Every structure is written in C-alpha cells, then in structure tokens.
Chains A and B, each alone.
Chain A
Amino acid sequence: MRDMSPRDDADIERMIAAIGALPDAPMVMVRQDLEQAGARVLHGLVPRLLGLFMSKAGQ
C-alpha cells in the first residue's frame, strides 16, 4: 500500500487525477448546424424585441 500522508496540493491533484481517471474510450460529438444562413447580429433593445417575434433575436 502506498503512503498517502498529506502532501502538497499539486501532488494530491495528480494523485486524484490518476485514481479518478475516466475510462479512455473516446466518442466523437458531431457538431450540429443551427444557425440560419446570413444571420447578423442585432443591436439595441427595440431591434432585439422585434427580433424575438421574428425569430432573429440577437442575430
């Protein structure tokens, strides 16, 4: 059994990183397309408020 008496934070962090390491089994997260083509950013309260109703808020 290893000695795990108190040690400095960096050592402890490395130890936890090793003990707690997640399984190495990568999976690709496929980036999705959500933006409308030609979207542009709206500025100001009124354009954004109108944009809410026209589904262009902030674009």
Chain B
Amino acid sequence: MQNSTRDDRDMTAWRMFALAVSVTAGLVAFVFFLRFGIADGLDVIDMLRSGLLLVSTFWLSWGAMLAFVGLTTRARAPVIDRSAPLQGRIAVLVPIYEEDPVTTFARIAAMDMSLAATGHGDAFDIAILSDTRTDVVAARERLWYLRLLRDSNGQGRIFYRRRASNTGKKAGNVADFIRTSGAAYEFAIILDADSLIEGATMVEMTRRMQADPDLGLLQTLPRIIGARSRFGRAMQFSAAFNSPVFARGLAMMQGRTGPFWGHNAIIRTRAFAQSCGLPQLAGKPPFGGHILSHDYVEAALLARAGWNVRLDDDLDGSYEEGPENIVDHAKRDRRWCQGNLQHARLVFAPGLRGWSRFVFVQGILAYLASVVWLAFLLASVAAPVFGPPVVYFPTQYWPLPVTPPDQTTLALALVIGIFGLLILPKLLIGADAVLRGRARGFGGWWSATQATMSELLLSSITAPIFMLYQTRSVFQVLLGRDGGWPAHDRGDGRLRLADAFAASHWIVACGLIGLTLAAVLSPDLLLWFLPVTLPMVAAPFIIAWTSHPGAPGLFVTPQDLALAPVMRLRAAVLEGWQAGSTDDEPELWSGNLHYV
C-alpha cells in the first residue's frame, strides 16, 4: 500500500512537471514569435501564427517530456511468487479479418509450442475469432485451422469460430467471445492477427494479473518484427530503440490509468465484461456508430469502474508487425485518426477519470497537430501580404534571416528550441543507450548511432508527407467520410513508382503550390520552406524508395542479431507449411480429428 501511495505521488509529480514544462514551452514560443512578428507591426496573422505555434510547441514539448521522464526513471518488475501455480484458465484471443491464414496460424502454432515449453500450456486455450467476410479466405482459414490442429494436436485447446456478422468489428468480436465463453476464463490475452508473444511472457502476464486483484488490464510494449523495407526497418528500429523509453515515460505518467492499445495485453475477463460493453454512438459514422478506437475507451471504462490499467514496459517477448511502406502506414493512420477524433464525443462522458479525458484529448491532438503545423506554414507564407515588406536577407551569402538585431536572435532561439524539442529526445535516448550499454543489442555504439541518425533523417524527410496525409484524414473525417475497415496488407509492401505516384500525386501538387506561393509571396523565406516542400514534391520517389529493402547492416535490432525463441518457432512452422503443402492438400481432411 505504501508503495502504491508513493507511486501515485510520483505519478502526480511527473504529470504536473511535464504539463508545466510543456505549457511553459508553448507560452515561451508564443511570446518569442509575437515579439519577432511585431517587428513590422502587430497584425492578425501574427496573432494567428503565434497561437498556432503555441499549440505545436506544447505538443512537441509533451512528447519530449515523455522521453525525459522515460530516461530518468526505471521500470520496477513487481515482486510476485513465480513458483505459485496459475489459477484459473486463460484464453488467448486471436481476432482475424481477411488475413492470410498460413502466416497467421503459423504464429499461433509457434505461441502454442512456446506455451507448452513453459510447462503451463495446459492452463491456456487459444481462440481464433474470425470476422472474415470473404468466403474464399474463410475456406482457407478452415483448411489451415485443420492443419494447425493436426500439427499441434490442439483439438479441445485451439478453437475457431467465424461470426455470421462482424457487428462492432474487433471490439464486437472480442465482446462476442466473452458473451459466449467468457465465464470459462479468468483472464484473456488479446492479440492482433500479427501478434507474437513468448509463452514465458504470457505466463508472466498472467502471474502479474494474479498478484494484483485490482488490476483489470495489463498492457505490454510490443516490438515490431519482420520488417524488410527501409521504412519498415526504420520503424522497427525506432520501436525497439526509442519506444521503450517513451513507453517508460508514458507508464510513469499514466500510472493506474494506463493505456490499452488493443492487443498484446491481458484482461481480467470479469472486469472487462462488467466495464467495457461498448454502446453504439448516436448518429452515423464517422462520429457516430461503433466506437472505432475502442481500446482507449475500454481502458478509460476499466479505470472508471475502479480497475487498474497498467503498462508494464519491462516485459519482453511481445511482438507485432508493422506497415512496410508509407502508404500502408497512412491507411492505418486514417483509421486511427477517425477513431481518435470520434473520442471528442467522449471527453465529457460521465464518470471518467480526469486522466482518461486527457488521454482522449492527446489522441485528438496527435492528429490536429498536423493541421496546426500546416496552418502555421500557410499563414507564414501569407504573412507578407498582411504586413509591410521586411528585408530578411540584406547580405547576399548569409543563409539565415536577419531582422532587427534583437529579433534575429529571438527567431534563431525559437528555431533552435523547436528543432531541439524535435530531435533532442532521440539524441538523448541514443546517448543513454551507448552509456548504459543498451546499444550492444543494436550492433554496438556505432551501429546504433548510425541507425539513430538515419532514422532522424528519414523521419524528417517523411514528416511533411505524413503531415499532409494526416491533414487530409482529419478533413475527410470532419466532412463525414467514413474510412471503413480496410483489411491489412501484410505483404512485402514494395511499391512501384507508378503506385507511389498514384497514392501521392496530390501531395506533389501541394508541394508545387507551396513552393510557388513561397516564391511569389515570401521569396526571402523560400530557403526555409524547402525542407518542407521538397519532400512533398519528391513524395512518389520517397514512398517508392523507402518501400524497398535497404542496406542490410542498417537499423539493426536485437532480433536481427538473435531471433527470439518464438520467432524461431514461427519461422520453422512457416517453412514446413509453405514447403510441404498447398491449400488443396487433401490429406488434411483425413487426420485424427474427432467430429463431435
């Protein structure tokens, strides 16, 4: 009890500190920019730009604070009795929707083997919850389910059901399982189709739930695996290298009102059933209908009912796959954007904890931030129209803008501050990894440093492209366009230039318009707009190039150096299945399965 009180005090202190720093940073940027802007007289556009910069800087600073808190605190594994037997049964839920059954079920086979190796496999059942609509894919699922049962001797442990109607999408799928079979299980581990978790990790997750009867949900930090493209591997590296630090900060700040990311987490079935029956929201999608980003809401509802929701970032052995190219990432982001903006309706839902409401606001800001940045850039291009002309570059070869002397210093300080908020967290994480020896898992200090710098470069180049994709998503949602529920593309993700152009020609147009406007309206500031507009103009090349494999030695992660045991198992199963079978294999229908 004393420990939890101390944890709560720490959490409150960190929250207040991070909020205070972020608000201060936003206000400082606001005042600096206002002073810079009024050099030629205060006008509406200066006020607008200062306000937009306030919001953007607050948001950047909030992200930087997560890293700062993550770097200055350490995860503490809970003290629990690991020799005690597991109580109750645990269901491992694998919701699937139009997935390739071969690769998906190979993961299930690997996790089943990994669980068996812990000696606790008997406590776990696996439930494949299909929401697949396409009959052809469903037929393949049935075939490969039989193969899975035969190879794992899993009848009575590994279940498969396909819903007649996919009402409520993934949340509805899981709720349907609980309504049908929830009472048979004390806990349920919720996965995605591309999730992979070590058996030992699932056992540890269960033990931690057992040890804390108030814990309603425990979230792990999944590492991205299996990436092949430049973009995918950069994300994979960042997820392995940077995300643990950000997640540590998040865990510290969220405390008992932790996050749920929809998968690679364990729930207390009873708590979930009592607290997380999601209603349909009044009206039509995108704001009405089923709750899309259900995980955030479920975490908030568990907390509302008095259950603890915790992110244990010290738990290893939790994996997922990520998008291989920018277009797939943008498609997924479109779905998340719609879900997060829908949360605007829930910010003042009755009884929620204050922090849960703040988490909803953060989720909304994550997408509005792009709109705010774009508005700031557009306002800056247009600013000269609203004020008297200013000579920013009186000297021919001096690349930085010169305003009256004191204002130039101010502008430079502002630019350095904002870039600092952008890149400093990752540089500090890199330095911390080198000093503490964590970089050894990433191929050594030089390899980790190369990867950090390359990832920073790549994320800087792709940032303007994502800014436009996110801005478009926000406006699509606000205009009432439902993004639907597209199936995930889990192929190798390579894009031809023509495909990349088809997905980004409007970004090229925006870049060209931006360049033209800057050249006409603010020629002195053209150089400053190039880092934003050039990647837009080159978007098809960037998208296509990053979708292809890069240098094999770059973006090394621990899983490149030594495959995790469950990944080895999965590779072995997949190799056997892909080498020896086809979907028409008739022998599958003559096994030792009992038709009851």
Binding site for B on A (CB under 8 A): 1-7, 9, 12-13, 15-36, 39, 41-43, 45, 48-49, 51-52, 55-59
B153 to chain A: closest CB distance in Å?
A: 13
Please classify how large the interface on chain B is, using the bins under 10, 10 to 19, 20 to 34, 35 or more: 35 or more
Question: Known interface pairs A27-B269, A41-B288. Does A19 touch B127 (Cβ–Cβ under 8 Å)?
Answer: no
Tell me if A34 and B592 are in contact (CB < 8 A).
no
Q: Is the CB of B344 within 8 A of A57?
A: yes
Interface: B146 (CB within 8 A): yes
Known: A2-B594, A45-B478, A58-B287. A25 touches B282 (CB 8 A): no
Across the interface, do A34 and B590 meet the contact criterion of CB distance under 8 Å? no
- Give Cα A31 to B281, complex, Å: 12
Additional 11 contacts, C-beta under 8 A, given A15-B595, A23-B125, A36-B345: A12-B142, A19-B160, A22-B127, A23-B159, A23-B181, A27-B273, A34-B297, A35-B282, A35-B345, A56-B345, A59-B345
Instruction: Tell whether B427 is near chain A: CB-to-CB under 8 Å.
Output: no
Q: Is B350 part of the binding interface, using a Cβ–Cβ cutoff of 8 Å?
A: yes
Q: Which residues of A contact B128 (CB under 8 A)?
A: 20
* CB of A54, distance to nearest CB on chain B (Å): 9
Closest-by-CB residue of B relative to A17 is B161
Contact A57 B342 (CB under 8 A): yes
Q: Are B595 and A19 in contact (CB under 8 A)?
A: yes
Cα separation A18 to B161 with both chains bound (whole Å): 9
- Interface: B155 (CB within 8 A): yes
CA–CA, A26 and B269, complex, Å:
12
Query: Does B4 lie at the interface of the complex (its beta carbon under 8 Å from any beta carbon of A)?
Result: no
Which of chain B's residues have a CB closer than 8 A to the CB of A55? 344-345, 347-348
Could you tell me if A18 and B159 are in contact, using CB atoms closer than 8 angstroms?
no
CA–CA, A43 and B479, complex, Å:
9
- In the complex, what residue of chain B is closest to A33 when comparing beta carbons? B350
User: With A19-B149, A57-B341 known to touch, is A2 a contact of B127 (CB < 8 Å)?
Assistant: no
Q: Does B301 contact A (CB under 8 A)?
A: yes
Given the contacts A9-B139, A19-B595, A45-B475, A58 and B286 also touching, CB distance less than 8 Å: yes
Say yes or no for B563: interface residue by CB 8 A criterion. no
User: For the complex, what is the distance from the CA of A32 to the CA of B275, rounded to whole Å?
Assistant: 7
Chain A binder among B30-38, B171-179, B383-391? B171-179
Contact B589 A5, beta carbon cutoff 8 Å: yes
| Given the contacts A21-B159, A52-B368, A16 and B273 also touching, CB distance less than 8 Å | no
Closest to A15 in B: B595
CB contact between A30 and one of B184, B277, B342 (< 8 Å): that residue: B277
**Residue in A4, A5, A43, A49 whose beta carbon sits within 8 Å of that of B595 in the complex:** A4
Pairwise interchain contact A59-B287, C-beta atoms closer than 8 A? yes
B180 adjacent to chain A (CB < 8 Å): yes
Q: Is the CB of B273 within 8 A of A58?
A: no
Between A and B, 19 residue pairs with Cβ closer than 8 Å are A5-B586, A7-B589, A9-B135, A17-B161, A19-B146, A19-B155, A22-B127, A22-B177, A26-B181, A28-B273, A29-B182, A30-B273, A31-B277, A31-B278, A34-B297, A35-B345, A58-B286, A58-B342, A58-B344
What B residues does A42 contact at CB under 8 A?
287
- Determine the chain A residues whose CB is within 8 A of the CB of B139 once the complex forms: 9, 12
CB pair B178 A27 closer than 8 Å = yes
Closest to B281 in A: A35
Residue of B at shortest CB range from A52?
B344
